[in-house]
Amino acid sequence: MYEERTLNEPKITKFKEFFTPKNSSWLVFGFIILVGMVIRIFLWDFTSSDIFVWYDAAKLLMNGENPYTTTLESFQIEGGNHFYAYMPLWMYICSLILLIFPDGWFYLIVKILLIIFDLIVVGLLYYILKDKVENVWRLKLPIAIWFITPMIVMTSAMHGKFDSLMFIFVLAACIFHKKENFILESVFLSLGILTKTIVLILVPFFFLKNIRKKDFKTIAYKILLIIFPILLFSIPFLYDPVVYFQGILGVHITRGHDLAPIFALLSWPFNSPTADRIIRIILTVIIVLVWLAIIILSYIKEIDIYSGIFYAFVAFNSLYWVFLIQYTAWIYTFYVVHTSKSKLRHWQLTSISSFIIILSTTLIGLMGLFIKNGL
């Protein structure tokens, strides 16, 4: 009996020694990521009209037509599905898919790409936080929770939107901004703008460090490096610049409200088209003023670039008269980095984050029962 016990003790000891905080955190992290992958595969067949828009836009481009003409027409049809209203990078990617693969594979390849984009964001968040956070649980849990957040899953795996591609470029730009590699920083920032024009509101935050140092030479180089890829990718559409810029900017500015809470609150007593236009103008002015205030405070207080972007997204999504579910994903992605400086313990922060996610997702779901547009 004694000999048998002594033989088994080393195995038990090794088993216990394996479950260090570091190893345990990796096991939990890996399990949550695996669950996130299973959820995405389960939702594989669910989608919105967006993927069909990506397909149609790519087809028009390949046939030598201007997809942005269709964009302007789609926004003039009340209650209709809006067409492609972004800069052309994602449209080029979709066109490349159609060139390489048979048409029937388009849906499959796009879904695979969107899952890969989500995984790359997980890797980038880990890279960013590993030098900021010492506690292994606090490092990995927020990132893993990001991956299974309903807003993130619904945006990419379910609805087929490409916001995670934007996150990749913006996070990469932030990484190289910290490393003071202005060439790669500018290129990735430009690619972010080419993915979604909302990235334009983030551009000033990448120049604050250079302004403090009065490094005007680098500022000039960065501006050129940001503008050049945008012009290069826009060449096929610059023969009709009015249609192009209206298609990527104008339709977002003039579109009707979709479940925006502050807009709904302000317009509720009036209920008239004229009042709606006035409220949109007022909100636009407020958005610009708040945005400028965040930039100025970021400069004076030397606020971390991730926090500056987080504040900018919070302000924009709170005040903008259009609310879409993927906009909350912009906030939450940078919330993960922003809260890495919190003094709360990892389990407290995780509990609060989980509560916020569950509450917001539940409210959005409940509103979706009664509101047809805006989700």
Residue 374 has pLDDT above 50, yes or no: no
- Which stretch of 91-100, 106-115, 220-229, 348-357 has the lowest confidence by average pLDDT? 348-357
Residue 3 has pLDDT above 60, yes or no: no
Instruction: Please report whether residue 15 resides in a domain.
Output: no
Helix (H, G, I), strand (E, B) or coil at 37: helix
Instruction: Please report whether residue 14 resides in a domain.
Output: no
Half-sphere exposure of 211 (CA within 13 A, CB side): 12
Query: How many DSSP H helices and E strands does the chain contain?
Result: 19, 0
Classify burial at 276, counting beta carbons within 10 Å of its beta carbon; exposed 0-12, middle 13-18, buried 19 or more. middle
Give residue-wise pLDDT tens across range 289-305.
999 999 999 999 999 99
Structural domain that includes position 68: 21-368
Instruction: Please report whether residue 213 resides in a domain.
Output: yes
CB 121 within 8 A of CB 167: yes
Reading the block at residue 166, the tokens are: 């934007």
**Amino acid (1-letter code) at residue 147:** F
- Which stretch of 31-40, 172-181, 195-204, 261-270 has the lowest confidence by average pLDDT? 261-270
Instruction: Please report whether residue 16 resides in a domain.
Output: no
Instruction: Please report whether residue 326 resides in a domain.
Output: yes
Instruction: Please report whether residue 320 resides in a domain.
Output: yes
Beta bridge partners of 101: none
Instruction: Please report whether residue 307 resides in a domain.
Output: yes
- If one counts the domains in the chain, the total is 1
Place of tokens 């909302």: 198
Radius of gyration of the chain (CA): 23
Angle between helices 346-368 and 325-338 (to 10 degrees): 170
Instruction: Please report whether residue 4 resides in a domain.
Output: no
Alpha helices in 149-201 (DSSP H): 150-153, 163-178, 182-195
Give residue-wise pLDDT tens across range 16-32.
555 576 788 888 899 99
